[in-house]
Amino acid sequence: MSRTSNQGHGRPARDRSAQHPADRDPIDLAPSVDRAWADKFVLEQRLLDVPGDRIGDALVTVESHVAESGETAQDAFGDPRPYARELAASHGAAPGPVGPTTATWAVLGLVGMVLTGWGFSAWLEEAPADVSVGALVGGAFVLTSLGALLLAPGVVLRALLSRVWVGAVLMAVPVMAMVVAMVLLPATAFQAPALPVLALGLLLVAVASVLGWFDSDQADLVLAPGERPTGGNRVRLRLALVLPAATLVVVVLSSVFDLLA
């Protein structure tokens, strides 16, 4: 059986030794394995909180068997998700809550982005920043949804990924609830000076980015056996820049909306 035509579906094998772990697609550790099978296997292992080095070791084991036997991964190991759960259970791995550091910087980052956009818009209008009752209610709903994701990421992500429409609905509900609350409850709860609100928002985004940099759990790379996790800083840098980049988008959009108004 041809490894290229029957396993990789024409996907050429890459030289993984020449790639940095932070830049490499984990699936490249198993070039002879059908990509769809390997993708599902890696995703299920991630949802089960299996460390990256063990995921890499399992991928290389599957690759070795497929390459030597000529069998497909499906024929040799069965469906990828049950096989991934079997491996995780054999090592005592189970879904667990996100660590406190991750939860802290995620919440701080979200609040910081909202405050930044809110304060910047008010500053452009040269007016105090108004907070409506609806904004408070909607914000509480969004934070509650985020808390559910952080406390039970495996359950929530599995629901998001199970069906496209399920994921779309679950992602849209918090945003729609916030919009509806702001429309139905427009009364002003309180006002705050624009610049302090803007400064507080930027400070929270900065703190969240620093915490994200030091959150070692977020740099869990999928490694080949014997490979050292030397790419953590590159992954941490990318994660640390996500919040500032998203906040910049919020600020730019606020500027555009102000010009259009």
Ramachandran angles phi, psi of 192, nearest 5°:
-145, 150
Give tens-digit pLDDT for 40-87.
888 888 777 787 778 888 888 999 999 999 889 899 899 988 898 888
**130 bridge partner residues:** 191
Residue 7's pLDDT band (cuts 50, 70, 90): very low
Task: Tell me the C-alpha distance between 69 and 65, whole Å.
Answer: 6
Q: Are residues 216 and 118 in the same domain?
A: yes
163 lies in the same domain as 232: yes
Contact 251, 56 (CB under 8 A): no
**62 and 171 housed in the same domain:** no
- Between the alpha carbon of residue 228 and those of residues 88, 95, 181, 189, the distances in Å are 22, 25, 50, 53
111 and 81 belong to one structural domain: no
What pLDDT is stored for residue 3 in this prediction? 37
Highest-scoring range by mean pLDDT, 25-34, 126-135, 137-146: 126-135
User: Is 118 found in the same domain as 64?
Assistant: no
Total-model pTM:
0.57
> What values do phi and psi take at 12, rounded to 5?
-70, 140
Residues belonging to the chain:
261
The residue range of the domain holding 132 is 100-260
- Give the CA distances from residue 51 to residues 63, 72, 87, 149, 245, in Å, rounded to whole numbers and listed in that order: 19, 25, 12, 20, 28
Residues 43 and 107 in one domain: no
How would residue 17 be classed by pLDDT, with cut points 50, 70 and 90? Answer: very low
In terms of Cβ atoms closer than 10 Å to its own Cβ (0-12, 13-18, 19+), residue 2 is exposed
Q: Which of 35, 56, 90 is the last residue of a domain?
A: 90
Give residue 14's pLDDT.
46
Q: What percent of the chain has pLDDT over 90?
A: 9
| 75 shares a domain with 172 | no
Q: Over the stretch 181-219, which tens digit does the pLDDT of each residue have?
A: 878 888 888 888 999 999 999 999 999 888 877 765 555
pLDDT of residue 196: 92
Whether the Cβ atoms of residue 101 and residue 214 lie closer than 8 Å to each other: yes
Are residues 29 and 79 both part of a single domain? Answer: yes
The model's confidence at residue 104, banded by pLDDT at 50, 70 and 90, is confident
pLDDT at 16: 46
**Same-domain status, 66 and 113:** no
Would you state the pLDDT for residue 224? 58
5 lies in a domain? no
| Residue 2 placed within a domain | no
Higher pLDDT, 8 or 2: 8
Highest mean pLDDT among 6-15, 167-176, 181-190: 181-190
Domain for residue 231, yes or no? yes
What local confidence, expressed as pLDDT, does residue 198 receive? 92
What's the total number of domains in the chain?
Answer: 2
Same domain, 71 and 112: no
The pLDDT assigned to 127 comes to 87
Mean pLDDT, the chain, rounded, equals 75
80 with 169, same domain: the answer is no
Task: Tell whether 151 and 40 lie within a shared domain.
Answer: no
Q: Which pLDDT does position 195 carry in this prediction?
A: 92
Which burial class, exposed, middle or buried, applies to 34 when counting CB atoms under 10 A from its CB (0-12, 13-18, 19+)?
buried
Give the model confidence (pLDDT) of 235-260 as tens digits: 667 767 888 888 888 888 878 877 77
